[in-house]
Amino acid sequence: QVHVVETGGGLAQPGGSLRLSCTASGNLANLVAMGWYRQFPGKTRELVALVTAEGGTNYADSAKGRFSISRDSAKNILYLQMNSLKAEDTAVYFCMVSTGYLHWGQGTQVTVSS
């Protein structure tokens, strides 16, 4: 059983910053990757950024240069630092933990608005 909890969403102004955190607990012995996804209303969930167990990272084009993913492997905490936020970043952000199976958090709302 793997438990995933996101924190850190909220309201930011355009050009501002937010940092999301994700804490994973449970059986993580077969961890493959952790990542952040987002979902716009009426759309399917899309990748924002991902980090593998070996430390490799992958970013969506929309996130490159603005967002940074990092992981505290000792504490199994995943972060997403989001800078230069735009209104189009407004979405529900989900943390994903892959152990071969995909485990999801409940999501956290990020709203970028003046």
Give the pLDDT confidence of 2-23 residue by residue, as tens digits: 999 999 999 999 999 999 999 9
- For residues 39 and 46, the answer to whether their CB atoms sit within 8 Å is yes
93 vs 105: CA distance, rounded Å: 9
Longest dimension (CA), the chain: 43
pLDDT of residue 23: 97
Nearest Cα to Cα of residue 35 among 44, 19, 21, 47: 47
Give the pLDDT confidence of 87-106 residue by residue, as tens digits: 999 999 999 999 999 999 99
Give the pLDDT confidence of 32-90 residue by residue, as tens digits: 999 999 999 999 999 999 999 999 999 999 999 999 999 998 999 999 999 999 999 99
